[in-house]
Every structure is written in C-alpha cells, then in structure tokens.
Amino acid sequence: MLHQATYKEHDEARQGENYTPFEMALNVNKKHFYIESYGCAMNFADSEVVASILVDNGYGSTSKIEAADIVFVNTCSIREKAEETIRKRLHTFSKLKKARPGLLVGVLGCMAERLKATLIEKEKLVDIVVGPDSYRSLPSLIEDAESGQKAVNVLLSRDETYADISPLRLNSNGVNAFVSIMRGCNNMCSFCVVPFTRGRERSRDADSILHECRDLFDTGYREVTLLGQNVDSYHWIPGTKGAGAVSFAMLLERVARIDPRLRVRFSTSHPKDITDDVLHTMVKYENICNYIHLPVQSGSSRILQLMNRTYSREWYVAKVDRIRELIPDCGLSTDMITGFCTETEEDHRQSLSLMEYCRYDLAYMYFYSERPGTLAERRFEDDIPPEVKKRRLQEIIDLHRIHSLESMQKDVGKTFKVLIEGHSKKSDADLFGRNDQNKVVVFPKGDHQKGEYVYIKVESCTSGTLIGKITTPSVKENLHFQHKAYLKQQQNIQ
Ligand code: SAM
Ligand code: SF4
Ligand code: F3S
C-alpha cells in the first residue's frame, strides 16, 4: 500500500506487500515468480533488484500466488515479531507446496542470512535460501533447486552494490522511487542485527546513482529517496585512491542538480555522522526536501552508551538545535526503543523529556527485542519485564501523539508546495501528495494529476493528514516562496 502513506523507513502498512511490475503474458516466460517483501525500505528496493535479475534471465513476474512456479519471501530479522510473522507465512507456503508439487519456495534477505541453511536442512521449510549479497546467483540456484539440490548462498560481500543492475520498479506510482546508495552497516549498535545480516558498509558508484536518478526523472518520476542504513557515511572513491572522493553532501548536490523538478529525500541519517555540509546543501537546493529522519533510540546518555550509539543526549540535542538553526522549517522524525537492558524509570523519563524537547513530527517506536548474536545479547541481560517495556512504549507513543497532532495543527492556514502522488484513498474526487516536510496533504483534484506540483492552502487537519485547497499563493506567500528560491539561487551562485 504505497497509496497515501507518509514515507516510512519501516512501513507497517507495506509489510508482506507483493509486487509485480506488470502482469507478464503467462505463455511467454518459462517460469513465473511471486515476491512478497517485509522489513525496511532497503529490503523493498532489493526486491526490485531481484525482479530485474530474474526478468533478465527469462522469468516472468506475477502478483497471483496461484500462477507462480516460484514464491520468494524477502525477509526481515530486526525484531522477533517480524520473524514470527514471516515464519507463519513460510508455513502457509510450505502447505501450498504439498498441494502443488514442483512449486519452489525461496527465502531472501535478512532472515535468510541469519538462519542460513537451517531453513532447508533442519526445518525443511523452503527450497532456496539467498542472502542480501548473493542475488546474482538466483538463476543458477533456482536450477539447482529444480534438480533437487540444496540451493543456498549466504555469502556476504565487501563490494557488491548491484550498481550495474537497473531495478525493475514494482507496484510503482510512477512518481516516487527508492534508490539504494550504499549497503551494509559498520556501526555495531549493540541491539541491532543489521551488521550481521547485511555485512560491511560499502558505497555504490556515484555515477551509477546519478545515472539511475536521471533515468527515473526522464521516465516521469519526480521524487527519489536515497537509501542507506547510514547515508552520512557515504564515501565513494572513483578510480585512483584519494582523488575526487565523493561525500554524501556532494552526492546529494549532484542528484539535486539533475533537475529542479526532481525532489530529493534521503534516509537514514546517523546523529554522529550528519554534517553541516549536508545541512548547507539542503539549504542551498530548493528541491532537497526539508525533512530529516534522525533516530535517537533513547534519551539517556547511559543507555545510549550501552547501545553503542557513540553519541550522548547532549550531542544529539546539539544536532537538533543546529538543524533548526539552519533549516527552521525542517521536518524531523526519529526511532525510539523502550526497555533496553538495565533501563531504569529515570532513563525512561529522559527519553520522554527528550521527546518533549524535540517535538518530532513523526516517530517509529518499539520495545526492545533481543536478537541472537548481537552485542547486547552476548553482553547484557534482557532484564526489563515485557509488561514494563510495553507500558513505557505506550507512554512514549501517547506523548508522541500529542506532538504529532500539534505539528499538524500548526500547519493549518499555511500554504505548501505539494508533489501529487495519486488519488486519495477515500475519494476519487480528491488527490493526495506530500509537502517538503513529508506530510500527506489531501485536496480536491480540479484538473490536476499525479507528478505535478501544486500550491495547497491548508484548511484543516487530522492526526495524519493535512486537508486543503489548491491556491495561487498570495502576494505575501509568493514573496515568501520567491524569497526562499532567491536565497537558494544566491547561494548557488556563490
Ligand atoms: N540504520 C538506522 C539507524 O541507525 O537508526 C535504522 C536501522 S533499523 C533498520 C530501524 C530501527 O529499528 C532502529 O532505528 C531501531 O529503532 C529499531 N530496532 C533495531 N533493532 C531493534 C531491536 N533489537 N529491538 C527493537 N527495535 C530495534
Ligand atoms: Fe543497526 Fe545501528 Fe547500523 Fe542502524 S546504524 S543499521 S541501528 S547497527
Ligand atoms: Fe531491513 Fe529488517 Fe534487514 S529492517 S536491513 S530488512 S533486518
């Protein structure tokens, strides 16, 4: 459900979404695959790489399980609950296999990497297991599985970025696209399984990123979201060492320069790495959206240290202050974990008070889920009872609700530039899009269509949506937009 969803790094509404670029003629392709995706935006982007590899090798895609010869599940291991949901799904597919001998089931992504061959050997649940860095071997693994051999490849790579593969856009609205700019993570936050399932951090060739973004613009896309677990540590060295290294700020600038009509977003920023250069680049280009996802995880410096986040509460607050100093209207979102090992009521109160300070527009909130093999699992006891973790989570959620509603209410009366993404879920007479700060805006459609920019004057709001009407900006508002554009133009010249 891409429709009318605020961009989310880990979007609950999209879990289990099945994808198809277009229904392929069933008699043309040798075999058909069905693919279901879970987890973060990077996993959804990977499914598009997988689809591209399979289609290039003569397979066709289908959105109907009944028409599929191979069923793939692109999986997530981030929390126990995520794995449980997927496991249930695998059992359903395993039953389907009994009814339809010859059907192959494959596990892709982070759970494949974490559990490796046990899914085939011990649990006998699936036929193919492929980790995130081994998708190029999918066609040969399918052939192995068809001939009854064990089909497993979970090798992690130090340099695979799939840079040369043009992702097959799946279920796309033709307006926004995800573009992976790096893979893996070197950060080793103690609670997190990602460094183990996705391997070492590596940056993708900047030229291939620019090429992909330009292609997207030329085919009508109007927004790209540059993806990585830690985009601020993007670092690509072309050819010879040292000369001409490309930082994230430089990459952002190059993508923004493709065309002023192409909006640019990015996710995720790490508080220890986001630089003034990135913030200045955001200020400089009108088409780089004023929105930053800056996960904090906890408001207590003691817990942040145990989490190995490598910043303190004070460092984080200073970053937020700097963002607001340079980009006063910047949308800000976060991730927060409650009930991490040894978290006291005082630590929890610090998380609440940090939220009071930051007043996030959007927050993704979780209770701590111990993951096998992580630093926290090896070093600390998971000692906070589930009911305490959940009560603290509820307090965080309740507080955030107040802040997010306030954030919506303060936009009533303002005018925003909105990129139209499609029809509103509730009425065909309405369109929806998002403003710079990533808020969903709904308005009567007039004679406009998706992919266009319009100015919307907000008249009311719900907790998740701004509601308004198309407007021609007033002289004052126009001056405001012109002034912003003028300032940015001046900065571009300098
Ligand atoms: N790389 C990003 C970062 O550093 O913020 C996000 C990584 S992760 C895919 C998304 C979020 O899941 C994290 O920010 C964290 O809040 C949450 N998360 C990760 N491991 C978790 C765990 N073991 N239990 C609960 N939440 C977890
Ligand atoms: Fe996990 Fe930390 Fe890396 Fe994010 S930065 S993916 S939380 S290890
Ligand atoms: Fe993403 Fe889940 Fe893997 S959040 S990186 S799919 S563990």
> Nearest residue CA, atom 25 of ligand 1?
368
What pLDDT sits at residue 3? 32
- Quickly count: other Cβ atoms within 10 Å of residue 200's Cβ: 14
Q: Whose CA is nearest to atom 2 of ligand 1?
A: 229
The pLDDT value recorded for residue 117 is 83
Query: Do residues 66 and 49 share a domain?
Result: yes
Q: Is 332 helix (H, G, I), strand (E, B) or coil?
A: strand
Q: How far does the centroid of ligand 1 lie from the alpha carbon of residue 196, in Å?
A: 13
Nearest to 138 by CA among 92, 196, 70: 70
- Sequence-distant (≥ 6) Cβ neighbours of residue 33 within 8 angstroms: 51, 54, 59, 60, 61, 62, 68, 69, 70, 71, 72
- Ligand lying closest to the C-alpha of residue 43: 3
Ligand with minimal distance to 132 CA: 3
Query: Is residue 393 one of the residues assigned to a domain?
Result: yes
Q: 181 and 313: one domain?
A: yes
* 123 and 20 assigned to the same domain: yes
Mutation to probe ligand 1, out of 42, 366, 375, 382 (largest number of atoms < 8 A from CB): 366
Q: Is residue 164 part of a domain?
A: no
Domain shared by 350 and 464, yes or no: no
**Number of continuous H segments (helices) and E segments (strands) in the chain:** 15, 22
Predicted pLDDT of residue 313: 98
pLDDT value at residue 136? 98
Assess whether 238 and 318 both reside in one domain.
Answer: yes
User: Residue 370 CA: which ligand 1 atom is closest?
Assistant: 23
**Radius of gyration for the alpha carbons in the chain, expressed in angstroms and rounded:** 23
Phi, psi of 37 (to 5 degrees): -120, 145
**What does pLDDT average to in each consecutive run of 10 residues of the chain (494 residues)?**
42 74 58 95 96 94 92 97 94 91 95 90 88 97 93 95 92 92 97 97 96 97 97 89 84 97 97 96 96 98 98 98 97 98 98 98 98 97 98 98 97 96 92 97 94 97 96 68 59 50
CB of 195 shorter than 6 A to ligand 2 = yes
Q: What is the pLDDT of residue 239?
A: 75
Apex CA 279: angle with CA 318 and CA 435, to 5°? 105
Tokens at 372, concatenated: 């096998």
Dihedral of the alpha carbons of 59, 64, 65, 70, in degrees to the nearest 10: 0
Q: Which CATH number belongs to the domain containing residue 81 in this structure?
A: 3.40.50.12160
Residue at 7 is within a domain: no
The CATH number of the domain where 403 resides is what? 3.80.30.20
**Domain of residue 460, CATH code:** 2.40.50.140
Site to substitute for ligand 2 among 185, 200, 303, most atoms within 8 A of C-beta? 185
The residue to which tokens 């009318």 are assigned: 4
Which residue among 49, 198, 369 is best mutated to probe the pocket of ligand 3, counting the most ligand atoms within 8 A of its Cβ? 198
Is the Cβ atom of 185 under 6 angstroms away from ligand 2? yes
273 and 191 co-located in one domain: yes
- Report in angstroms the alpha-carbon separations of 245 from 159, 235, 249, 251: 17, 7, 11, 10
Domain presence at residue 160: no
SS3 111: helix
Residue 213 domain-assigned (yes or no): yes
With contact defined as beta carbons under 8 Å apart, do 49 and 135 qualify? yes
Q: Same domain for 363 and 424?
A: no
Q: Alpha carbon 157 to chain centroid distance?
A: 22
Asked if residues 364 and 326 have their Cβ atoms less than 8 Å apart, the reply is: no
What's at 45, amino acid-wise?
A: A
Domain identity same for 20 and 136 = yes
Total number of domains constituting the chain: 3
Q: Show which of 409, 425, 446 is a domain's final residue.
A: 409
Three-state DSSP class for residue 156 = coil
Tell whether 312 and 401 lie within a shared domain.
yes
Instruction: Give me the amino acid identity at 326.
Output: L
Residue nearest to atom 1 of ligand 3 (CA): 40
292 lines ligand 1 (CB under 6 A): no
Ligand lying nearest the CA atom of residue 267: 1
Residue 363 carries which side chain, given as an amino acid letter?
A
Residue owning the nearest CA to atom 8 of ligand 1? 78
Query: Could you tell me which residues come within 8 angstroms of residue 300 by beta carbon, excluding any fewer than 6 positions away?
Result: 313, 343, 346, 347, 348, 350, 351
The verdict on residue 5 lying in a domain is no
Asked if 405 and 256 sit in the same domain, the reply is: yes
- pLDDT, residue 197, reads 97
| Nearest-angstrom CA–CA distance, 227 and 182 | 7
Q: Which residues line ligand 3 (CB under 6 A)?
A: 10, 39-40, 42-43, 76-78, 109-110, 193-194, 197-198
- Whether residues 64 and 86 share a domain: the answer is yes
Where is the domain boundary, 153, 184, 208? Answer: 153
Q: How far is the CA of 482 from the centre of ligand 1 (A)?
A: 39
Q: Is 307 in the pocket of ligand 2 (CB under 6 A)?
A: no
Q: Which residue has the tokens 């912003």?
A: 484
Q: What is the pLDDT of residue 243?
A: 65
Distance in angstroms between the alpha carbons of the first and the last residue of the chain: 43
CA of 195, closest atom in ligand 2: 8
CA distance 280 to 268: 18
Can you tell me which atom of ligand 3 is nearest the CA of 132?
Answer: 3
Q: Are 35 and 50 members of one domain?
A: yes
For the Cβ of 267 lying below 6 angstroms from any atom of ligand 1, the answer is: no
Expressed in angstroms and rounded, the spacing between residue 110 Cα and the centre of ligand 3 is 6
- By residue range, what is the domain housing residue 221? 176-409
**Cβ atoms < 10 Å from Cβ of 250:** 18
Residue 143 domain-assigned (yes or no):
yes
Which of 10, 40, 201, 268, when mutated, tests ligand 3's pocket best, judged by the most ligand atoms within 8 Å of its CB?
Answer: 40
Ligand 1 neighbourhood includes 268 CB (under 6 angstroms): yes
CA 428 remoteness from chain centre: 28
Residue 165 lies in a domain: no
